[in-house]
A and B are shown apart, each in its own frame.
Chain A
């Protein structure tokens, strides 16, 4: 019987999901939540204003309203919440978001009050009864303007900058007692060709189909909180800090989660108000946000990037400067520190001698910026891949040739690249070759030439993106670890615990494969559990594509450790030396070497004594999956409409454990990448009013907007974990967006167009064609 590792094992999660539906937070039926009340938030309709009054009299006068809470309630009494800590320690304390606004609101949608009703349907009616007075203040929506600090959103802080890469680097250097090298005087001095451009990496909504949701109850003074999240342990920590209760006073339980994409790390003010309200009211309280609420404040990306790239006419790139102004939104969150990851990956797959990144995150009167699939790395890739194409256009060289000329040579041991980041393994030229071959690059260029010569209305564009990205980085510097436990029960079934937090990635299947392969126990007898902090108190959750390479490795180690313990017990039982005992996968146990029929099953051992092992796995560092994407687009040059007709993707994430699941992750990422290139954008007007507040206005892509993808496999294992696996969940978004953007511009290159910003809407394309034609006259 061959190993199932590397095979297309179908998912164990599916049956329930397909027949009864998964159990998401709003679906949870639990006796402890019986009689739950429903929480609805009153949110600011204005982007920046002083609150003059909150009149709760009408709400309190309604018999359907059981309670109305404002910041004043939260800040008083024995259960008062503490002053809120900054969402991450690196941010100015003065920029922490209050749970409910008290004197100033800073974005449309900021929670101002909360109402409790017995019926969920009464919630919106109740919220309408709360009358809030607002005195408008001037609004900042442009982070570049905000960075000038002419109008301060937090006067006591004295600046709108929440995070500065240079300041962070200096602090880190001081802490380590090293000196930072001075920046080069003029990196582009001596370059034959220098191209500079401002790029916009637009704000996107992660928009998981399930929004945020929570259910809270208190038992014997202890909080039981169910919530949709991607890391129970981190959510529990933040709830504890925001609520002002000790960690042990909280049990966080994670039901099935309907997607997250980076939007569900940590606790939100609403989760904490839900918990607080439950304690104050003495009843369980449930909260589920609407899609309109979700689109107000679950955002990602949002960088204004100035790229400068310089080199020689022979195609050699000599210097690259990336300057980032990160839109932090109204209150700094994880999105504000992502430029640090952007900086780490700024030079991508290239061996550029001089690379400089400057970055700062600046507050504006818009939704607080979080993370979205790729979290800082798609931003880096979009910048360098656009810059390389701009450079190629300037020197009139084929973009594939420019890439190949400048790529890092293949490496199977870690190398330090110009940004200082240490990549583990990579073979970028082969990825590029594979994608060009799979797409028939010469054939595409020939077809493009034919259409150009014929003056076809529908022009063809071919766009490339060679990417490398960082996975498994985690939130704590220098920490790349996860834990896993494996227990065999006396009935032969297995329980596996993990500190990861799957929300569609199929960990029950992948981790189950690892355990099943080693122990010989069937997958349908293996149960994975996660996300309950009483069961798994430590863990770093699922994000940054870390789960298999660290969580899976931990489960594998726990399984191997369990086998060793079982071997020792079996040896005693069978009265042989442990070296004479081998694993007998066929019988899910161990046997004496060379003596068929003499052995003991894991289940039998478990019946005699608990057979359970917990292990931790630490990676020496993050890993660096890479690839090459090629997009073929058709652009209707009369209307400006662009359509992706082919997307060919080479993605190397090391050794593939389950190709079915890996492909699924890539597909999802590619669709999101196309979406950012062509369709999706969260926009505000100059007064900070959201313009894309529903799925009707926000162009989330359907099956009509994406093609069938063409995937090409490639596996360059990493030495950093025994699985040889790197992360793959964010590869698609990282590579696809620049490939599609470059393709659209390529379709118009013969008309003189050099750049079209993201998303390349039909109006933008049409304008670019027109401006190029005007310029040509």
Chain B
């Protein structure tokens, strides 16, 4: 069936079978192979991309469910001049990747987390990436990298009685 979807800012029209998983549509049809498949049970998050700006596991979304929507993958984060997104730069600085298989999904999960909560603490970062499994790093440097991207501390909360 016909699928119309904006991938990394460019509209595509493709003919797909209903059971085609979004992750395979991105990898095989669109040639965007950074997202990986690491499990069968929506557990590992290596396939994480953004659907209408929200992180989702592309292995558990049918390509046809993204019809008329926009999908962004890690390949869209790099600037046209090759400059790294701050999250990518932080991952590099903090050695937050080793074999790299979980990395595209982890980066997209981190970007989404920071977009929703620009100043997470360590516990919130760990909870924010609990859907992304890494076997290499022990998460230590990934957490450090994401915290390094967190903005400055929130301004003081207004006290009672003030608006």
Contact = CB atoms under 8 A, between A and B. Distances in A.
Interface string A1-22: 0000000001101110111111
Interface stretch (B1-9, B64-72, B86-94): B86-94
10 contacts: A14-B92, A17-B97, A19-B82, A21-B36, A24-B101, A210-B38, A671-B137, A671-B138, A671-B139, A695-B40
Nearest to B97: A17
A702 B130 contact: yes
Interface string B15-38: 001011000100100000111101
Nearest to A19: B78
Contacts of B27: 27
A709 B140 contact: yes
Interface string B90-133: 01110101111111100100000000000000100111011111
A81 to B, nearest CB: 30
Please list the 3 inter-chain residue pairs (A to B) with the smallest Cβ-Cβ separation, ordered nearest first: A21-B34, A258-B101, A504-B99
A423 B34 CA distance: 44
A57 interface: no
Interface stretch (A431-439, A611-619, A662-670): A662-670
A27 B33 contact: yes
Interface of A: 10-11, 13-15, 17-24, 27, 121, 207-211, 256-259, 261, 290-292, 503-506, 660-661, 663-664, 667-672, 694-696, 700, 702-704, 706, 708-709, 732
Given A664-B141, A694-B39, A709-B140, A209 B102 contact: yes
B92 A18 contact: yes
B133 A702 contact: yes
Interface residues of B, number: 55
B11 interface: no
Nearest to A670: B138
Interface of B: 17, 19-20, 24, 27, 33-36, 38-41, 43-44, 46, 74-75, 77-78, 82, 84, 88, 91-93, 95, 97-104, 107, 122, 125-127, 129-143
Contact of B84 (A19, A211, A290, A669): A19
A18 B103 contact: yes
B9 to A, nearest CB: 16
A504 B100 contact: yes
A259 B36 CA distance: 13
B126 A258 contact: no
Contacts of A15: 84, 92
Contacts of B98: 259, 504-506, 664, 668
Nearest to A261: B135
A126 to B, nearest CB: 15
A209 B92 CA distance: 20
Which has the most chain B C-beta neighbours within 10 Å: A22, A24, A672?
A: A22
A207 B75 CA distance: 26
A664 B104 CA distance: 18
B40 A694 contact: yes
A500 B101 CA distance: 20
Among A11, A21, A24, A732, chain B packs the most CB atoms within 10 A around the CB of: A21
Contacts of A208: 99, 101, 135
